[in-house]
A and B are shown apart, each in its own frame.
Chain A
Amino acid sequence: MNLKKLTGLILILVMVLSLSACSSADKGGTKKKFIMGIDPEYPPFSYMDDQGAYTGFDVEVCKAVCDELGWELEVFGVNWDQKLVQLDANECDCVWSGMTILDSMKEAGYVISKPYFYNSQVLLVKEDSGIASSSDLAGKDVAVQLGTSGEALLNEDLADLAATFGNVVTCDSFLKCFTELAGNAVDAVFVDLPVALSYTKENAGYTIIDEELGAEEYGIAFRSGDKELCSQVDDAIQKLVKNGTYKKIADKYPDIVDNLIFLNQ
């Protein structure tokens, strides 16, 4: 009986020791991995370049932050309308992809970084449509991407405006919103200013209605327990701003430079 107990105890000890040996080996060998959650279809902040690698302003800044902190960066394309669920599920360590800071995120307990970008929502229309202001869109159809702040605005703050539209069509990507507009299935796309700017630059025949409908800021979202991680990233970004790396990255994306908070203080 005693012998049995003793054997059992030894076995348990062996198991526990081997387990702890495993985990310490893991920590010692490799660098800390930082998984960045992005919307891979959100130029110029995060998108796939011609070689098929993820790039964009946010991705480059995150790369610089990881270099600064000695982390290994892994970029993970999230399903944008599920981004916070995927964050909670540990599929990524942050959502950093031109993400609008919403009050509901803070209420839900997510840790949000310092805002880094001023944004506004605009309406993109075809040049020859004769639409010059949001009031011209009465009875017309407007597309918006599901899970974006534009969609939230149309449901809440701009619900009165949205009620004058014929239909609000929610697409699951901006590409589809723009295809709907190009194919005349909708009359306007309600979209973040930088996305609209980069689209009008690359595609002729579109124009942005000069009317800012919702002012907001971009930030990075972390899980509720990750306050320390958030301040590490915030501090690293400030270092990059001071040593000029941030400016160097920003200069590659002239469309958005004017709205970057850290460069325009």
Chain B
Amino acid sequence: MSFFSMMLKMSEGLSKTCAIFFLTLLFSLPLGMLVALMRMSRNRFISTVTRGIISVLRGTPLMLQLLAVTYGPYYLFGFSVSRNKLIPVVIAFAINYAAYFAEIYRGGIESIPKGQYEAAQVLGYSRLRTFLRIILPQVVKRIMPSITNEVVTLVKDTSIAFTVSYQEMFTIGKQIANSQTSFLPFVVAGIFYFAFNAIVDFGMGRVEKRLNYYR
């Protein structure tokens, strides 16, 4: 198999890699905000439970969470294993990444000085309006570098979906490596991931620049 046809075959799996990537971001970014707000809740019960969940999600490998989401329902309750593996994969990825995003959001929100809330209160802003119009725009700017970090990691983490036999790009690469007894598919995979991340880097850099309006 030539280098070119290898790349062609593996790029078929690239669309599935992209599906994991975009769907995970779509669900985990908002979910992370929800989790962050729960984590910072004044209700002690909610914040403690959320803290526990985040600690489990960050303290166990994504690969195990993926196995748990895919095969757990079958072993525990006898439910059928999903034929479309994209569903359990995106659920597991979205939950896992939401935990990381939540902590990034929390760090951002808590970095805003208390004086701003007090000033907003004096000006007659409601709490919701204070958060949406004053706090959040500053938070987004501050956390962009950390978010980029996670997004770049996500690109590479998509290869973990292999563990539940989801046929993404790296899985196909492994299959070719096997049948051809060749190391070349891994080189191709490396190139693909790097190119993907170069695009992500560029895009996130542009966003960061746009948000830089105070300087």
Instruction: Say yes or no: is A108 at the interface (Cβ < 8 Å to chain B).
Output: yes
> CA–CA, A141 to B82, complex, Å?
12
For B80, list chain A residues within 8 Å (CB).
183-185
**A143-B166 Cα distance, complex, nearest whole Å:** 12
Contact A180 B165 (CB under 8 A): yes
- A81 and B83 CA atoms in complex are apart in Å by 23
Q: Flag the segment in A115-123, A129-137, A168-176, A248-256 that touches B.
A: A168-176
Tell whether, in the assembled complex, residue A170 and residue B167 are in contact, meaning their CB atoms are under 8 Å apart. Answer: yes
Verify A171–B71 contact, CB threshold 8 A. no
Q: How far is the CA of A147 from the CA of B80 in the complex (A)?
A: 26
Check B174–A146 contact: CB distance below 8 A: yes
- What's the count of A-B pairs with C-beta under 8 Å? 57
Which B residues lie within 8 Å of A105 (CB)? Answer: 181
Annotate A216-240 by CB proximity to B: 1 below 8 A, 0 otherwise.
0000000000000000000000000
A170–B175 touching, CB < 8 Å:
yes
With CB as the reference atom, state the residue of chain B lying closest to A181: B81
B75 to chain A, nearest CB (A): 8
**Given the complex, which residues of B lie within 8 Å of A171, measured CB to CB?**
165
What band does the interface of chain A fall in when counting residues whose beta carbon is under 8 Å from B?
Answer: 20 to 34
The one of B81, B82, B183 that contacts A179, using a Cβ cutoff of 8 Å = B81
Report B-chain residues with C-beta under 8 Å of the C-beta of A147: 178
* Residue of B177, B181, B183 with most chain A CB atoms under a 10 A cut-off: B181
B179 x A155 contact (CB < 8 A): yes
Chain A residues, CB < 8 A from B74: 179, 182-183
In the complex, whether B171 has a CB less than 8 A from a CB of chain A is yes
Q: Is there a chain A Cβ closer than 8 Å to B163's Cβ? A: yes
**CB-based contact A143/B165 at 8 Å:** yes
Using a CB–CB distance below 8 Å, which chain A residues touch chain B? 81, 84-85, 104-105, 108, 141, 143, 146-147, 151-152, 155-156, 169-172, 176, 179-180, 182-186
Residues of B within 8 A of A (CB): 71, 74, 79-83, 162-165, 167, 171, 174-175, 177-181, 183
Q: Could you list 11 examples of A-B contacts with CB < 8 Å?
A: A108-B181, A146-B175, A151-B178, A170-B175, A176-B165, A179-B74, A179-B81, A184-B80, A185-B80, A185-B83, A186-B83
Q: A81-B177, A184-B81 given; name 6 further pairs at CB < 8 Å.
A: A104-B179, A141-B83, A143-B165, A182-B81, A183-B71, A183-B79
